[in-house]
Structure 1
Amino acid sequence: MFVSWSSSLNTLSARFGDRPAAIDMAGESLSFRQLCTYAHALASYLNRGDHLPGKAIASLLPNSVQAVWASYGIRMNGAAETPLSWGYTLDEIQWCAKLAGFDSVITKKEREDELRSIGLQTIDIDTLAASPEFKTLHSPLRTLPAIAGDQAGRILFTSGTTGKPKGVRYSHAARWMGEQLLKAEMPFIPSAGEQILLMTPFVHGASLLTYAWCDFGGTIIIHPGVHTDRIEPLLNSNSLSAIFAPPTVLAKITSAFEGRHFDGIKCVFTGTQPLAPAMYRRAAKMFGPNIRITYGKSECVNPIAVLDRAQTQRYFDRDHIEPGACVGWPAPGVEIKIVHPPADASVSAEPTANQQEDGEIYLRSPHISSGLITETGFAPHAPEGWHQTGDLGHFDQEGRLVLTGRVADVIKTGGYRVNPDEIEAQLVHNTLCAQICVTSIASDYWGEIIIAVAEGEKPGWEDLCGDLLKDMSKHKRPRHFIGVESLPRNPQGKISRKQVARQVLERFELRDGPYPELIKKAL
């Protein structure tokens, strides 16, 4: 199989010409014709060097029109595009370079010195784009060679919430297949010029939606985060047809515009994290019943499973919603199986039907990644194609996939296995704090001690936690409740339970025993 990224982009340029493909928060606009010109020029520039197909080339750019055309250009060159979040620290970049093996980074001038300090070559995108010969590198009639589908086409990185991030390698064929599946599962086909607002880092979900949306001639509005003063005029003008808003983004928007209702939004794309019932109700009140849930991972991008707008409304309108996050039915071509681990005699579990059904989620699909990269090298997925996700879940009575936690997050305390997501599902109803993370700290006496850590807490939040957990088995209830200024999050907005535990132990010392205490350290 060969993938002709160049031919496809030339077609979009011919069809949509001077219509805007992307507009960023700085007001810079990129037409389809300009997108085609800049991307081809970048691909041709890279082809003149030693950037051979399959070789990793990194980009370190903020959410902007430059990030868009750079992405299109790198993949058109045939390289393994390795996008880095603009917020990455130097240590994180160095780790990614070690895994992916890139030595060149397309970036902005303000990041060049630090990148060069760790031995990386840099390409200043502003200087390159302004050079007289740059745009001459592309002729409108020229089509670059198609790329062999089995060549490495993209390297992403896992969130690192359970350890150091791993690299995830995709082939060009898997990239192409993933984009076709995403377009096939779109809730509606955007018309030319219809706008979607993207506010999360371009390196993950925002870029996937960009490729799908622009393939129909739609326009992406790309912002570097949630800037409510800048998005309010967009919402008021009814110019947006859709927004991509994971739960952390939804929380900021619904808090900033509480009590408001915005017409015109056909769909709120959400995913990456579980959507709590309370958050769904807040979002539906603001945007109508137009919330769509998907399940995707760094190792296998959207769509793995989909719960469309009507199905999402029906699910959350029920009188009783079981613990866990329903993400819908498997997308076309995606296989999912639940694998139950062998019984562990050293720990006990609640004998409930739900827990008996829970197991680790395995999946395979035509758009899955080729394998993972760790410091020991590249490890391809199993020959039969099944990927062990590390997610816990089950199928409900209607065949929908319900996520219930992470294998690595399961807490072993006092001889019991406890899923922290089950506890958080009850604590999400606590109105006296912004968010609660349930995690654990090591204990010689108990194995692990469960703690609940909140940000944005108000007086009485601990007592309300007790009320919310009164019907839960005693061994599942947190032993300590701690407030912090903010919970640590990665660039994708996910909270790392391990980092939360470390944050607590920086401030407190454990006095272990049958009645463990957390003693605040002297400053």
Structure 2
Amino acid sequence: MKSIHWASELSTLALRYGERPAIADSAATTTYADLFAKAAGVGRALTLAGIGPGDAVATLFRNGADAVAATFGVMMAGAVEVPINPALSTTERTYCCEVADVRLLISGVGLARDIGVDGPAVLNIEDIKQATLDPATFPFVESNTPARIVFTSGTTGRPKGAVHSQIGRWTANILLRANLPFQPGSGSNVLLMTPFSHGSSLMTHAFLSSGASVTLLDGVDPPIVLGILERGECDAMFAPLTVLAKIVAAAGGRRFTSLRTIFCGTAVLKPTLYARAREMFGPVVRVTYGKSEVFNPITLLEAEETENWYASGGEDACVG
């Protein structure tokens, strides 16, 4: 594949799934049609600002539909997305923008001001209106050019920017969808609570590509999460170790039956935590291993394999 036309791919999803729910967040539920109309508005605003293929654009958002629209808008414009974790300090945010040579920042009211006076120009997403998603108005991009710069967590020093190509981003979505333990559909919903700037964005893209819906929470709020689980509103959940431990601790002795899969990983899953999660949700924990520098997942244990590992006396080595 020599070139990629993101607008064609995304417009297909908008047309195919139009009025289906796409994103549920703390504010509302957004349909596919409205999500991609807002994304088209973002892409158009970037083009009018002189942004095109090869230009770096930072996205700074808390979890919600605007974060998704901004990501897809940057993709359609052919720009290089630099997702910034809102948990980073002002100094860290500025550093990431400088390293990636960011020309423009897309954000919402209250976050962009923390970048600093010497940072890039800011485009407030609240000021962007929906637009018709006309693929002909957006560019093709060369497959080997940069598409995304993902900053590592900085555990071994200052965050490092891992560059993913356009074909890499396209391939990563295909691989992640192919490795899902079940095929999401119109009745599927994945619950995501970790920052959209990291793994949640990949899961969002994969589930939306299959016509499913995504619930994006801004962090782990146990009462809200437990309510969603009790009402059976999701059949999958992305819960790294710290998230899973918090949910298990808050749930007490309650049991939930709606989840087909819990995507877990990022660190060693202790046998005691697995046992408590299994008692609460059943044998649905899927352990994966990945990293920012490459496409994910790298390795994984399906739920049945995870169950067999711990049933056989597996100790601390289970990271997928």
Please indicate the TM-score interval, normalised by the length of the shorter structure: over 0.9
**Residue 306 of structure 2 corresponds to which residue in structure 1?**
312
Secondary structure class of the residue paired with 1:66: helix
2-side partners of 1:283 and 1:41: how far apart?
42
Deviations 1:402-454 (A, max 9, x none): xxxxxxxxxxxxxxxxxxxxxxxxxxxxxxxxxxxxxxxxxxxxxxxxxxxxx
1-side partners of 2:292 and 2:318: how far apart?
18
Change (3 A) 1:177 1:139: closer
CA displacement at 1:239 relative to structure 2: 1.9
1-side partners of 2:133 and 2:15: how far apart?
13
2-side partners of 1:238 and 1:172: how far apart?
36
Question: Is 1:107 equivalent to 2:100 in the alignment?
Answer: no
Kept in 2: contact 1:60–1:107 (CA 8 A): yes
**Residue 20 of structure 2 corresponds to which residue in structure 1?**
19
CA displacement at 1:235 relative to structure 2: 0.7
- Determine which structure has greater relative contact order: mean sequence separation of CA pairs < 8 Å that are 6+ residues apart, divided by chain length: 2
Kept in 2: contact 1:116–1:122 (CA 8 A): no
Secondary structure class of the residue paired with 2:190: strand
Identity of aligned residues (%): 36
Structure 2 counterpart of 1:263, from 240, 257, 267: 257
1-side partners of 2:295 and 2:70: how far apart?
20
1-side partners of 2:242 and 2:127: how far apart?
35
Q: Which runs of 5+ in 2 are unaligned?
A: none
**Residue 77 of structure 1 corresponds to which residue in structure 2?**
77
CA displacement at 1:324 relative to structure 2: 2.3
Report runs of 4+ in structure 1 exceeding 6 Å deviation.
none
**Residue 151 of structure 1 corresponds to which residue in structure 2?**
145
**Residue 59 of structure 2 corresponds to which residue in structure 1?**
59
Kept in 1: contact 2:270–2:316 (CA 8 A): no
Kept in 1: contact 2:261–2:286 (CA 8 A): yes
Alignment of 1:379-394 (within 5 A): none
Change (3 A) 1:275 1:122: same
Change (3 A) 1:91 1:116: closer
**Residue 160 of structure 2 corresponds to which residue in structure 1?**
166
Larger Rg: 1
Kept in 2: contact 1:37–1:140 (CA 8 A): no
Kept in 2: contact 1:46–1:77 (CA 8 A): yes
Deviations 1:301-347 (A, max 9, x none): 3121111111111011113x2442341xxxxxxxxxxxxxxxxxxxx
Structure 2 counterpart of 1:324, from 314, 317, 320: 317
Per residue, is there more strand in 1 or in 2? 1
Structure 1 counterpart of 2:211, from 183, 207, 217: 217
Per residue, is there more helix in 1 or in 2? 2
Alignment of 1:186-225 (within 5 A): 186-225=180-219
Which one-letter code corresponds to 2:318 in the other structure? A
1-side partners of 2:156 and 2:249: how far apart?
29
**Residue 511 of structure 1 corresponds to which residue in structure 2?**
none
1-side partners of 2:113 and 2:315: how far apart?
52
Kept in 2: contact 1:24–1:222 (CA 8 A): yes
Secondary structure class of the residue paired with 2:235: strand
- Once superposed, what is the RMSD of the aligned Cα atoms? 1.5
Structure 2 counterpart of 1:298, from 292, 311, 319: 292
1-side partners of 2:113 and 2:251: how far apart?
40
Which TM-score applies when normalising by structure 2?
Answer: 0.95
Which one-letter code corresponds to 2:264 in the other structure? T
Kept in 2: contact 1:270–1:293 (CA 8 A): yes
Secondary structure class of the residue paired with 2:296: coil
Which one-letter code corresponds to 1:242 in the other structure? A
Alignment of 1:50-449 (within 5 A): 50-129=50-129, 135-136=130-131, 138-140=132-134, 142=136, 144-319=138-313, 321-327=314-320
Question: Is 1:48 equivalent to 2:41 in the alignment?
Answer: no
